[in-house]
Structure 1
């Protein structure tokens, strides 16, 4: 199967009819869009292609948020998904998307996002195509839960996650939906045949790029001083302040704390809608499980049982997870301190069980 005329090697406003990519197979589908495995025809390199139909203001907003976040990053990071290019298609016409473009097609999407109503001809079919890294190892849930627990993998993953989050926050990006489903695995194999999993933080549809400080337009905004009010994310990974609708990038720290704790102790729950087993820590209240953030919002002084299993964990790791999951965001480390502390734990405390 070949891609339509929406992909081309030229950088002109409207693309040529020569296809640049070839679709191999569908690898994922949801209400937001469809993801394909594809190859670059010239080099045969594998890529992922996400096709998003812009048929509602909600879809347009999610797509633009992802585009704005990924296109704002000036450099690449091994643990953050890389946007190769984004193509905007209307019927049989298409063009490469550029941030801040004055293109009428692009401005119609921006207006749709801002107004919350379709600002273009509803008879036309609008699509956004995102070309990114292809990750052949599935997501973090599928990867870890199909393998035996490994201290080496846990250590590697926590370091990669800490590095990725510090990179995003350094680039003024608050992810707002960190969870194992949104963390993909790429398995790069050496000539000797050994494959090391590399994490890629993905799915930036709920992300927020913080603008410059209101006091000094020349000074970049600190993500830890960029206050947001839209409660969004996935229940089991949302910080207590997100439920209230007043939060900063420290909400990402909380979500990562949930992920790391669940990964280390293999704490899982079954999603009611999909019946999938997912990594995630929570509070047991009778026969029900309650998201940590929701439980801490109701009882900020509640003491979390870390570790949750009989098997103990290193005191440094235990303390760090406790701080990451603090009900008070001010008591959580920022992403830069977190990255440093994770490195120290990995280097000095290789055995977490002592």
Structure 2
């Protein structure tokens, strides 16, 4: 990227956050479009987020159409560039790992360290932008639910808990079929808070179940966080809760205004007087609270209503796991033959 013969040409900036900058880029040899995320490793928090994303995406040995694919990761120190590999003995890589583990910079702070992630390019923005700029469509809703449940089952099968599922982190690749436009492809992205559950010490050959892998760091975005995440003792069932919030909000077009960005975002919530409260927080205070689904005055498929209620159960043990969820959504989709918009 900064060598004498760069592999990629950066075309334009398409996104920016506190964590990094994302560019649309071209592969020089093939002219294929890719997304390149540039992360400055100037603070331990940035390094930890970057390494979490790298570890999660590089741990996946196969590709899934609805999960962002990491083509490669490049580590840059000043003018020196090297491809980064998981478990590498490279001194530069080990300095980043040490920084993440200790929570303090373990390399010369005068040097400029960057990580460059080369990933799928998604040309349709995120799920918020796509859905809120279009009229509600039953066909799109069904397609999105099936794609998201398939992606989550794939991640959990690969021992990855996402921990920050929200429409902002679900990207869109617009599809085109014949003369018209096909349903777009969703890509679950942004794995900076993800956790790869390692094998148990008793039998390292046996993969650990993500539903038995307990985590204690409360992280994510308030409106999508399960009640047990607020308490700091949770498993992959927290991802099921977040997806339940997303699906409920998508079906009813429930939105709120983000207090920081002032953007309209898809997300369901509970009203308490004039305030809106995240569902997880409300259930933490009152686990027996009955959620009003649907919240708007319109009908909802009875099986869909029951499934959302189970996904948002206060007790994580009452929620379906990702594999049951995928199967039930497929059954609902095929029993509901009305695909009209």
**Same fold? TM cut 0.5:** yes
Matching residue of 2:323: 336
State whether structure 2 residue 306 is matched by structure 1 residue 308: no
Q: TM-score by structure 2 length?
A: 0.98
Output the CA distance in 1 between the equivalents of 2:218 and 2:181.
42
Matching residue of 1:156: 143
SS at match of 2:22: strand
* C-alpha RMSD of the superposition: 1.1
Q: TM-score by structure 1 length?
A: 0.95
Q: From 228, 243, 254, give the equivalent of 2:241.
A: 254
Determine if contact 1:271/1:277 at 8 Å carries over to the other structure: yes
State whether structure 2 residue 34 is matched by structure 1 residue 47: yes
Q: From 2, 5, 11, give the equivalent of 1:4.
A: 2
Matching residue of 1:56: 43
Output the CA distance in 2 between the equivalents of 1:131 and 1:194.
27
Output the CA distance in 1 between the equivalents of 2:123 and 2:183.
12
Output the CA distance in 2 between the equivalents of 1:158 and 1:80.
14
Q: From 59, 62, 65, give the equivalent of 1:72.
A: 59
Matching residue of 1:134: 121
Determine if contact 2:2/2:81 at 8 Å carries over to the other structure: no
Cα 1:22/1:106, change in 2 over 3 Å: same
Matching residue of 1:241: 228
Determine if contact 1:66/1:204 at 8 Å carries over to the other structure: yes
Cα 1:352/1:194, change in 2 over 3 Å: closer
SS at match of 2:168: helix
Offset at 1:51? Answer: 0.1
Determine if contact 1:314/1:352 at 8 Å carries over to the other structure: no
Output the CA distance in 1 between the equivalents of 2:297 and 2:27.
50
State whether structure 2 residue 9 is matched by structure 1 residue 22: yes
Residue correspondences, number:
340
Determine if contact 1:317/1:352 at 8 Å carries over to the other structure: no
Output the CA distance in 1 between the equivalents of 2:194 and 2:200.
18
Listed as ranges, the matches of 1:265-284 within 5 Å are 265-284=252-271
1:28-64 deviation line (CA, Å, top 9, x unaligned):
0111000000011111110000000000000000000
Offset at 1:224? Answer: 0.2
SS at match of 1:111: helix
Determine if contact 1:174/1:208 at 8 Å carries over to the other structure: yes
Offset at 1:209? Answer: 0.1
Matching residue of 2:314: 327
SS at match of 2:175: strand
Matching residue of 1:115: 102
Offset at 1:191? Answer: 4.2
Unaligned ranges ≥5, structure 2: none
Determine if contact 1:22/1:38 at 8 Å carries over to the other structure: yes
Unaligned ranges ≥5, structure 1: 6-16
SS at match of 1:177: coil
1:283-329 deviation line (CA, Å, top 9, x unaligned):
00011100000000000000000001110101100000000000000
Offset at 1:213? Answer: 1.5
